[in-house]
Chain A
Amino acid sequence: MSVPQPSAEAGPSRSKLSTPRKAAHASGNAPSSPAQNDEGEGDNPRTDLSAVAATPRGTGGDNEGEEEGDEERMDIKLIQSFADKIQHLPSSSDADGITSRSKIIIPRRGEKDFEPLSETVNLQEMMLQKSREALFNALVGVRGGNSKSISHAIITPSNPYPKMLIIHGHLFDTIGMSIRYPTSEKDLQKGKSKGYSQTELLPEEALYLLERGTLQIWMSNDLTEEEKDKGYGEWSDEEYGVKGAVEMSVMDGFGTFIGRDGLSWERYQAYAYMKRLGYTVQRTRHFIPDHFLFDPLPSPPKEPARDPDALYPGMQPFHTWWLNLPKWIAGLFRYVGRNVRNVVGRISRVGLSSDKRFKGTLLEGWTGDSYKSIFQHLRLIPQGHSQPLPIRPSPAPESLRTKYDILLHNPYLPFYHIWKPSAPFTKRGWDKGSESGLRDYPPTYWAGVVESRSTPIPTIQQLDEIFNIVPDEPKGPVKKVGPQYVRPPRPPRPANPNNKNNQTKPPTYLQAILQRLGVSTKEDKPSTPFVNIPAIRNGDRAFIVAVNDSGNTGWVRFGRSGFAEFAPV
């Protein structure tokens, strides 16, 4: 029924690391080391000594690595290219006794019984040492940035959703949700408006920005009115920070946000994975915490309802009798057609000397005139996705304490909506994932997140539950948007003179007559039934799943396609 496909089809595939690798090759700024000679040439450098000898770099090295699949063994030049790019503290802060670059001591093991047997062993040791240095020097980077580009938020024990105080940068075009609050009594007396709104962050958004070094979250105790009047909990230029608060560390951030509101490690890592690639990611409406959906001041609808059907989906659409006219006419034709076919069938059966010879076989009672009708008659189990599935007990509503408990019953339920970077998106238009918001800004992917070691493959009921909520896949050819599809313009090819010969000649007089008589030789080739293979492969409904193995995220796509809809006979 469903066709799990490797992620190559699904779009957000695992990055192949081609860019940094190539950059390292081209620039050649990695320190010259013997490691350059060992580009994954042989499977095992220990036995493949020829690779270590000072030969020029093999060209086949990279291909070998590609075949190997995932980056199972890291290339020193790749690591070095990243180590060169990481962010350190600027040297000016040396004055406070803080070293800008902490030197990592690479522990050496077994130096006592180190015995240089030959030059190669020596070389290998050196290579390894260099790789380790590169690896751990790439880890000493410091999060942060210029004070003018850092955003600030505050978190208090009573509101674990960081409230934005200062917003910098375009990341916030797709991150954070605005919440309306009623103004307090005191402020109302001062003549302020009835409500105010502020931007707050979901746990994954806060954590992503924090560990990216773009957001400083300030922790503070819950503030009394008195403290608020004194400016506590607000940004203070004199204090270079939020008054009465202390900076939250990234470690604290992980402890605080992971495990909150259904944000497991796996879901956070899937979120961060897509965000790092530039996708827009939002939770599906069902999994947005109530805190964000609660509106204390329901504002009156600003614009007249455009589509009454969408606003009141429970209501029957407005109908008058004349709207049914086409339907009646079509029904009439169907009725006539069926009768005609029945008559024809009866006549042909008479020709076949009645159906008595099917007596006692599975075909008994078959009244048809085509192969399709035979197959339909023989079918015991109904086919097609419109048929109801055998019923499985659904979870008792009282067992679902929070809105995230449903994920225990069906972990594949889409948790995130994902938009391609090129897809249009505005937070206002998206409208916290409301029905109209998703219609105006349809997500590119619906994504579930599962843990790979303990989660079994979905049951047909679980899949059906999801396919019932996801929209139809877009029909027609795939829209290719993005820089990877832009081809360099080709010089116009000179018109091929041979083309003229290929043009079909008008049929000769004889052929035309033969065709009209139906005995043309052209029709000899049996026409194979047309099957739209890409459509079958793609399916009519689909969603993707981030499969997380101890922190390694892979992507799988589940599509629904039925052979009943694409019957070639």
Chain B
Amino acid sequence: MNDLPKNGESSTSISHPKEGSIPLYLVNGVATVWDAQVAATLHCVHNISGLRAGTLPGVSQQNGFLGLPLTLMREETAYLVEQGIAHLIPLPSFPTLPTTEEISQHTSKRIEKIRKLEQQAREAEEERQKLSSQAFEKGGEKARAKREARARAKAEKERAAREQGGDGAFGDDPAPTVPAPTTAQVQDPSEEGTVQSSAIPTGSTPKDTAGYFQTIPSHPLIPSSSPVQPITSLPLPLFPFSATQRDKALLGVFTNLQHKGYRMGLGPRFGGEYLIYPGDYLRYHAHFTSQVIVNDEPILPSQLVAWGRLGTGTKKAGLICCWDDRAQIGKEGREEGVEKEDGGVEYYSLEWANFG
């Protein structure tokens, strides 16, 4: 995954515990993904979608569609790590700073790069100015006639206004102004939207140039010289998930459903642990809302009613996932068999029906 482009930025090199293992960055107990290509791989190959949690660059004033980083559910993270698909890299609570030499090296590189960018911008501007003046000249008789007619009309109007108003407030030059590109127009069209607040330069940034596109990097620019030990097994203090029996049941059900080809989404909005999709959520609605039952946990009739009605009310079926840890223990000792196939999870779907 590492050799794939990373949003047009320099990539960090990470020592992989396993060839092709995906790095997930652990921030305060939550695994995050910072690369669109990794997100695509997880989504399409491993059936893990996560949740986009970052402000979308360019469309930053809305919550309807967010961008990177992707945050993963606890179950998703534990599943990926347990299956050996990914490993966790805990991010430090303060980044380790590069050495002075590295900084000065990086600084000189940046200076070189930006000088080049500025040079290009200047050339591009000159080119554009030349082109626009050419276009202005070459506009042909028709365009000129139009322009002149417009200017005449304007002058006419102003004269009329002056005569009416009598105060001569409109004393401007009626001649058409040449549309010279001002610095404001030179801004690249792709930046529209981000620069929503009008910039008031209070600092000491150079004002003679049009400026350049400054990237806020998503990955560290200088890879840390002391690599962090990647995590390949769970649970551990930084990521305590799947320590309790309930967690184990959740993970067991999640893994089992994944193997059956289902995809899981966040369920609490619909009153369950997971929303269960029969495939990519881009294509399907969820079919089930899960309720995970551990071992012989009793079910009250009122719970059944609630789950059944909830499922029907949201056009889904309730799915009761009964997880039995005794079956898990038995499974390990046994060879291939029926128990192995169902993974110690029994499923019952619940639908609300009536007579007539």
Residues of A whose CB lies within 8 Å of any CB of B are 14-15, 17, 19-20, 43-46, 68-74, 76, 78-79, 82, 85-90, 92-93, 95-96, 98-109, 124, 127-128, 131-132, 135-136, 138-150, 152, 157, 160, 165-171, 208, 210-216, 219-221, 235, 237-241, 244-252, 254-256, 258-260, 264-265, 269, 272-273, 276-278, 452-453, 549-552, 554
Contact = CB atoms under 8 A, between A and B. Distances in A.
Interface string B96-120: 0110101100110011011011001
B28 A138 contact: no
Contact of A251 (B52, B91, B268): B91
A43 B143 CA distance: 56
B203 A165 contact: yes
Contacts of A254: 25, 27, 32, 69, 91
A144 B97 CA distance: 22
B314 interface: yes
B215 A142 contact: yes
B107 A239 contact: yes
Interface stretch (B172-180, B282-290, B299-307): B282-290
30 contacts: A44-B285, A45-B283, A45-B284, A73-B281, A86-B67, A87-B58, A92-B117, A92-B121, A93-B213, A124-B283, A128-B280, A139-B52, A143-B57, A144-B57, A144-B194, A146-B199, A147-B212, A147-B213, A150-B214, A169-B197, A208-B55, A212-B60, A213-B216, A241-B110, A244-B100, A245-B103, A246-B106, A247-B217, A251-B220, A258-B27
A104 B4 CA distance: 9
B62 A86 contact: no
A43 B32 CA distance: 32
Interface residues on B, range: 35 or more
Contacts of B97: 157, 219-221, 246
Contact of A131 (B45, B56, B187, B283): B283
Interface stretch (B35-43, B161-169, B328-336): B35-43
Contacts of A213: 55, 57, 60, 194, 216
Interface stretch (B5-13, B79-87, B319-327, B342-350): B5-13
B236 interface: no
Contacts of B283: 45, 73, 124, 127-128, 131
B242 to A, nearest CB: 14
A214 B8 CA distance: 19
Contact of A86 (B58, B92, B98, B215): B58
Contacts of A127: 283
Contacts of B52: 139
Interface string B194-205: 110111111111
B111 A238 contact: yes
Contact of A78 (B51, B61, B65, B92): B65
Nearest to B33: A139
A244 B25 contact: no
B58 A240 contact: no
B124 interface: yes
B260 interface: no
A451 to B, nearest CB: 11
B202 A166 contact: yes
Given A92-B120, A220-B97, A237-B204, A15 B285 contact: no
A86 B57 contact: yes
Contacts of B191: 87, 90, 145-146
A84 B61 CA distance: 16
A73 B200 CA distance: 42
A139 B93 contact: no
Contacts of A149: 194-195, 197, 199, 211
B75 to A, nearest CB: 9
Nearest to B197: A169
A90 B190 contact: yes
Main secondary structure on chain A at its contact with chain B?
loop
A68 B117 contact: no
Contact of B213 (A79, A86, A144, A255): A144
Contacts of B41: 107
A166 B193 contact: no
B224 to A, nearest CB: 10
Contacts of B44: 106-109, 132
Contacts of B171: none
Contacts of B16: none
B195 A146 contact: yes
Contact of B203 (A98, A105, A235): A235
A486 B233 CA distance: 57
A550 B71 contact: yes
B107 A241 contact: yes
A264 B29 CA distance: 10
Nearest to A76: B282
Contacts of A98: 8-9
Contact of A278 (B61, B103, B265, B315): B61
B200 to A, nearest CB: 7
A212 B62 contact: no
Given A132-B44, A249-B220, A550-B51, A69 B314 contact: yes
Contacts of B197: 149, 168-171
A449 to B, nearest CB: 14
A150 B197 CA distance: 11
B330 to A, nearest CB: 30
Given A169-B198, A169-B199, A247-B221, A139 B213 contact: no
B40 A105 contact: yes
B103 A244 contact: yes
A110 to B, nearest CB: 10
Contact of B282 (A20, A74, A93, A147): A74
A254 B197 CA distance: 24
A130 B32 CA distance: 25
A131 B68 CA distance: 17
A17 B64 CA distance: 6
Contacts of B55: 208, 211-213, 272, 276
B37 A104 contact: yes
B48 interface: no
A307 to B, nearest CB: 36
Contact of B215 (A128, A144, A264): A144
B222 interface: yes
A141 B194 CA distance: 12
A237 B111 CA distance: 10
B284 A44 contact: yes
A105 to B, nearest CB: 7
Nearest to A40: B285
Given A103-B5, A105-B40, A550-B74, 8 more contacts: A46-B284, A90-B213, A107-B44, A139-B40, A145-B195, A167-B203, A211-B54, A254-B27
Nearest to A171: B197
Contact of A549 (B8, B69, B269): B269
